[in-house]
Amino acid sequence: MARIVVAGAGAAGASVAYHLAELGADEIVLCDRGSVAGGATAKAMGGVRQQTDVGLAELEERAELQRSLGVPVVATAAPAGVRSDDMAGAVVCWQDGVADPPAVTRELVRRAAAGGVEVREGEDATKLAADVFVIAAGPWSAQVGEQLGLGLPIRPLCRQLLETEPVAGLPPDLPMTIEAETGFHFRRRGHRLVLAMSDPKPRWGFEEVVEESLFDDRLERLAHRFPAATGTRIDRAWAGLYDMTPDAHPILGRVGERIYAACGFSGHGFMQSPAVGRAVAEEILELEPTFDLSPYRLDRFERGAIFPEQLVL
Ligand SMILES: Cc1cc2nc3c(=O)[nH]c(=O)nc-3n(C[C@H](O)[C@H](O)[C@H](O)COP(=O)(O)OP(=O)(O)OC[C@H]3O[C@@H](n4cnc5c(N)ncnc54)[C@H](O)[C@@H]3O)c2cc1C
């Protein structure tokens, strides 16, 4: 059987390798030029959402669509502690959640290795001999593509997360809360809150820099939406890279002669990685597809696909 090299051991590559092994491929190398879960996966908020969030009418319309697809979205009063007097409405899906992306990825890699996948760290995957190559290199995917003679429209965008000091009395069931109009959102992590919002001006490029001048604004927004956190400070902040495509949807499946992609997640790759890993592994192994990958094909950009996705946080 062919030797399959997966470039990148973040959430995406780990999931592809894990599913390849589970589906019976027998020579798989999962290779990261850094370390397992050392890229964007280490920086993620960890939100796992089936939810959407723009404007009440749109929320309701989407909730209807989500329910028709079996996602149990319900209208809700604001969760305990969340200010609601300036809200037109809210929806929640109690099956949404948060997870720890690096921990999940490391466990997937452990299981992939147990299933026979060779895991290499500190090596450039493009230097390895491969019959089949999978680009799962997150924000560096366009560079990897270029080394393989392939143009991938993926650009790195710097985003930052801020973690507060401990906040007393956080409700244990506080869901990840997203303001539809502004995109400001926060989640509970232990006794702390993690905050995020798009920068006023997008920061394109590979520099991962924390912009401290935004802290006060984010803390004011938090105090407004979650008054119990008034006066809290930022304890820790970090920046990471989104791998943005022109329409903010990923590029999945075959992209060239014996080359496959699982990249361009545009900030949503952790929650998509289980399904993506499965789908890409099935395509590589020419198995009956569980998911239709046609909306995610690379050639959509030749037809002018641009930004219909409204839900990039
Ligand atoms: C601030 C922030 C918040 C986020 N929040 C969320 C969220 O709430 N929910 C969500 O679903 N997603 C979120 N994401 C996105 C999510 O982190 C990623 O989409 C997801 O982890 C998938 O990452 P990946 O595996 O594609 O890339 P990465 O984790 O970046 O992995 C790519 C790997 O490729 C390696 N690599 C690069 N070049 C080579 C090479 N030549 N050879 C070998 N290896 C190579 C790198 O070292 C890296 O480890 C967030 C991202 C950021 C930055």
101-128: per-residue pLDDT in tens? 999 999 999 999 999 999 999 999 999 9
Question: Which atom number of ligand 1 is nearest to the Cα of residue 271?
Answer: 11
Residue intervals of the chain classified under CATH 3.50.50.60 are 4-43+99-154+246-301
What pLDDT is recorded for position 308? 62
44: left (phi over 0), alpha (psi -120 to 50) or beta: beta
Q: What is the pLDDT of residues 238-295, one digit of tens each?
A: 999 999 999 999 999 999 999 999 999 999 999 999 999 999 999 999 999 999 999 9
Ligand 1 pocket check for 247: Cβ under 6 Å: no
More confident position, 58 or 151: 151
Pairing of strands 28-32, 118-121: parallel
CATH 3.50.50.60 fits 4-43+99-154+246-301, yes or no: yes
Ligand 1 centroid–CA 64 distance in Å is: 31
Can you tell me the distance from the alpha carbon of 185 to that of 195, in angstroms, rounded to the nearest whole number? 6
H/E element holding 32? strand 28-32
The answer, yes or no, to whether any atom of ligand 1 lies below 6 A from the CB of 252, is no
The CA 23 to ligand 1 mean position distance, Å, reads 24
Q: How far is the CA of 33 from the centre of ligand 1 (A)?
A: 13
161 Cα nearest atom in ligand 1: 1
Check residue 91 and give its pLDDT. Answer: 80
Token pair of 80 as six digits: 């305990």
Helix axes of 11-22 and 101-114: crossing angle, nearest 10 degrees: 30
What number does the ligand 1 atom closest to the CA of 270 have?
Answer: 11
Strand partners for 161:
238
The ranges of the chain annotated as CATH 3.30.9.10 are 57-95+156-244
185 with 178: CB under 8 angstroms?
A: yes
* Distance from the alpha carbon of residue 113 to the mean position of ligand 1, in angstroms: 20
Q: What pLDDT, on the 0 to 100 scale, is given for residue 56?
A: 66
Apex 36 CA angle, 31 and 38, nearest 5: 120
List Cα–Cα distances, 279 to 156, 252, 289, 290, 291, in angstroms: 24, 9, 7, 6, 6
Question: Using CA positions, which residue lies closest to atom 47 of ligand 1?
Answer: 34
- CA nearest neighbour of 189 among 242, 241, 240, 235: 235
Least confident interval from 5-19, 196-210, 292-306: 292-306
Residue 122 zone, left/alpha/beta (φ > 0; ψ -120 to 50; rest): left
The model's confidence at residue 61, banded by pLDDT at 50, 70 and 90, is confident
Is residue 280 in contact with ligand 1, taking CB distance under 6 Å? Answer: no
Q: Which CATH number fits domain 57-95+156-244: 3.40.1380.10, 3.30.9.10, 3.40.50.180, 3.30.70.2740?
A: 3.30.9.10
Ligand 1 within 6 A of CB of 277: no
pLDDT in tens, 176-222: 998 988 999 999 999 999 999 999 999 999 999 999 999 999 999 99
